[in-house]
Amino acid sequence: MIEIRIHGRGGQGAVIASQVLADAVFQEGRYVQAFPAFGVERRGAPVMAFTRIDDVPIRIHTQIYTPDHIMVLDPTLLDVVDVTAGLKDGAWILINSTRPPHTFTFPDRYRVATVDANAIAVKYRLGPRNAPIVNTAILGAFARLTGIVSLETLCEAVRSAVPIHPEENVAAVREAYQQVAEEGR
Amino acid sequence: MKKVVTGNYAVSWGARLARAQVIAAYPITPQTSIIEKLATFCADGEMEARFIKVESEHSAMAACIGASAAGARAFTATSGQGLLLMHEVVHWAAGARLPIVMGVVNRAIGPGWNIWTDQNDTLSQRDTGWLQFYCETNQEVLDTTIQAVKIAETVFLPAMVVLDAFLLSHTSEPVDIPDQAEVDAFLPPYRPELKLDLDDPRAFGALVLPSDYMEMRYKIQKAMERAVGVAEAVDHEWGERFGRSWGLVERYRLDDAEIALVTSGTVTGTSRVVVDELRDKGLKIGLLKVRMFRPFPHEKVRQALAGIEKVAVIDRNISFGDSGVFAQEVRAALYRADKRPPVFDFVTGLGGRDIVPATIREIVDYTVAHDAPVEEFTWIGVKK
């Protein structure tokens, strides 16, 4: 089983990202669960969302405590949330940031990658400039890093899930897939 | 059509495929997205239902009662405090023999104000005359919603389809959404024997004297007893048509088991994982899932637990001053058994506290370590 945790702020699309990822993986024949942190959400406040993936039907119904990978949609969350809580060794930490991965200080047991999802989202006019919706871009980078889902399946899932600007969102996925900067592999 | 949908949307799809004709509902977390989706279906013309906005849950049920009395297939959904506000008319719907179906997202009762899951809201409606089904997965939620309509309309009693807050309501899972034509073949339109009808006027809800009231209660009980067989037949027919059936109870790895967990709702799935893990270590353990809680399938529970040495009930609820509610029912059912195993009761997970594999392992360890319960029930995971 693969468990993924997405850290974001209310309004960035973390919950939708967890669902789109689940949709895409399900289209490729695996079993999935996606859910938000069970709480009260407010715009701008730290939020979490989760995706579980397995080759067999998923029977467990609990929150996720020891994720295999994490995505961080807003780098300022690193100052207020312990994003690596429970994170398994060898995990990918994918951060929406302009900084190169080596400038982040995480233990060596983790692999770090960054993508400037803000710039990509702004380029394709996804959300307002001062609060771009980065969820689709970050998924493109995540697909590249982990190989959990193919780019084409992800693009199709994004196309059918987003309510507006489907092609712009797909373009953001593709661009982030190409641009993701990684190290530690 | 297979889609990844939340438990709440599975309820909405169930009501849509069952062709509910009147929906009256009031929003409450974590039920809200059920009625948002139904409102969207109605607004988009994908459902031919009258959506009635009301000012409270009491009014929602009152509107469903009126609609059902007039011969319409009526549906609503609520949760927690909303169900409690509805309580007076919850009794009325059953007493009036109206087959209303209601999705209920289990939400803990305040204070302390809490939106997360436990079963005290629906279990507090235990004696209202409603059928109650507790679901483990989103697929089961969808299937049960449609099955409940058929069962309710066969025995003329209302039915609750119950799902855990967030663990199902807000969790997306793959769900096979059946074709409308196949559901139509399974579920014919509602044809009440009596209804509010201008061409055939009758009085409803009149005073009933002591000379007749008890017979009305007798008939509700008879309908409940009949519902056991009806629910089983409906589930069987569902299985033949759709390739899935759920049972009134389900026995999981119980054949040679010495210890049996008794579970309901999503705790069942997590418990299956623990049962498999402990089986691999050589412990003879299985579980009994109770899906239908009202009518309580006494005979099936007795049969399933025959030969078991110890029974451990997991209760995500508490009857203050007594114990967990499922344990009360299981103990009562086993009292008539030839051999009565000790029944351990574990109260845990109240107010949405997560029930994880470690919680269930602790329950099993306690059961293994004791020959018989040393108290009426045991708290698990409480800060004393």
Yes or no: say if B58 and B88 are a contact pair by the CB < 8 Å rule.
yes
What are the residue ranges of helices labelled H in chain B?
7-17, 32-43, 57-69, 80-85, 87-95, 120-123, 138-155, 180-186, 210-242, 267-280, 298-305, 325-335, 357-369
Partners of residue B106 in chain A, C-beta under 8 Å: none
Give the span between the Cα atoms of B291 and A2, in whole angstroms.
29
pLDDT at residue A42 in the model: 79
Distance to chain A for B335, nearest Cα, Å: 32
The arithmetic mean of pLDDT across residues A87-105, rounded, is 96
The answer to whether B353 faces chain A, any CB pair under 8 Å, is no
Residue A163 neighbours by CB under 8 Å, 6+ apart: none
Tokens 């196949």 locate to: B182
Partners of residue B172 in chain A, C-beta under 8 Å: 19, 22, 32-35
Beta bridge partners of B52: B24
Yes or no: say if B17 and B146 are a contact pair by the CB < 8 Å rule.
yes
B40-71 pLDDT, tens digit per residue, is 999 999 999 999 999 999 999 999 999 999 99
Yes or no: say if B155 and B223 are a contact pair by the CB < 8 Å rule.
yes
Does residue B164 carry a pLDDT above 50? Answer: yes
The answer to whether B245 faces chain A, any CB pair under 8 Å, is no
Domain residue spans of chain B = 2-242, 249-379
| Interface A-B: count of C-beta contacts within 8 A | 57
Residue B202: both structure tokens together = 């009758």
Q: Are strands B378-379 and A69-72 parallel, antiparallel or unpaired?
A: unpaired
Please state, rounded to an integer, the average pLDDT across all residues of chain A: 94
Q: Nearest residue on chain A to B272, judged by CA atoms?
A: A59
CB contact under 8 A, B270 and A60: yes
Does residue B239 carry a pLDDT above 70? Answer: yes
Residue B188 neighbours by CB under 8 Å, 6+ apart: none
- Same-fold call for B2-242 versus B249-379: yes
B91-145 pLDDT, tens digit per residue, is 999 999 999 999 999 999 999 999 999 999 999 999 999 999 999 999 999 999 9
CB contact under 8 A, A61 and B172: no
**What percentage of chain B exceeds 70 in pLDDT?**
100
Distance to chain B for A98, nearest Cα, Å: 32
Distance to chain A for B356, nearest Cα, Å: 6
Give the span between the Cα atoms of A19 and A25, in whole angstroms.
10
Angle between helix A135-146 and A166-179 (nearest 10): 40
* Alpha-carbon dihedral angle through residues B43, B45, B47, B51, given to the nearest 10 degrees: 30
Of the partner residues A33, A59, A62, the one whose CB lies closest to the CB of residue B272:
A59
Does residue B159 carry a pLDDT above 70? Answer: yes
User: Quick one: how many helices (H) and strands (E) in chain B?
Assistant: 13, 15
The arithmetic mean of pLDDT across residues B336-345, rounded, is 96
Of the partner residues B174, B266, B267, the one whose CB lies closest to the CB of residue A32:
B174
- Domain range B249-379, CATH architecture: 3-Layer(aba) Sandwich (3.40)
* Alpha-carbon dihedral angle through residues B307, B225, B317, B374, given to the nearest 10 degrees: -30
* Domain B2-242 grouped into CATH 3.50.50.60: no
Angle between helix A135-146 and A151-161 (nearest 10): 160
CB contact under 8 A, A59 and B273: yes
| Count of Cβ atoms closer than 10 Å to residue A156 Cβ | 15
Residue B281 neighbours by CB under 8 Å, 6+ apart: none
Residue B291: both structure tokens together = 């899906």
CB contact under 8 A, B116 and A33: no
CATH T-level assignment (fold) for domain A2-183: Pyruvate-ferredoxin Oxidoreductase; domain 3 (3.40.920)
pLDDT at residue B261 in the model: 98
Residue B309: both structure tokens together = 């040495």
B36 phi and psi angles, rounded to 5 deg = -60, -45
CB contact under 8 A, B170 and A31: no
| Residue A183: band (very low, low, confident or very high) from pLDDT cuts 50, 70, 90 | low
**What percentage of chain A exceeds 90 in pLDDT?**
88
Does residue A121 carry a pLDDT above 70? Answer: yes
Q: Nearest residue on chain A to B274, judged by CA atoms?
A: A60
CB contact under 8 A, B166 and A19: no
A20-72 pLDDT, tens digit per residue, is 999 999 999 999 999 999 777 778 889 999 999 999 999 999 999 999 999 99
pLDDT at residue A185 in the model: 43
The arithmetic mean of pLDDT across residues A136-162, rounded, is 97
Which has more pLDDT, A71 or A10? A71
The arithmetic mean of pLDDT across residues A83-103, rounded, is 97
Partners of residue A23 in chain B, C-beta under 8 Å: 4
Quote the distance between the C-alpha of residue B258 and its chain's center: 28
Tokens 């309004």 locate to: A11
Give the span between the Cα atoms of B24 and B162, in whole angstroms.
18
| Count of Cβ atoms closer than 10 Å to residue B191 Cβ | 8
B301-339 pLDDT, tens digit per residue, is 999 999 999 999 999 999 999 999 999 999 999 999 999
Domain residue spans of chain A = 2-183
Q: Nearest residue on chain B to A64, judged by CA atoms?
A: B356
Of the partner residues A23, A59, A61, the one whose CB lies closest to the CB of residue B167:
A61
Best CA proximity match to B271, nearest among B325, B316, B232, B332: B316
Best CA proximity match to B132, nearest among B110, B156, B112, B104: B104
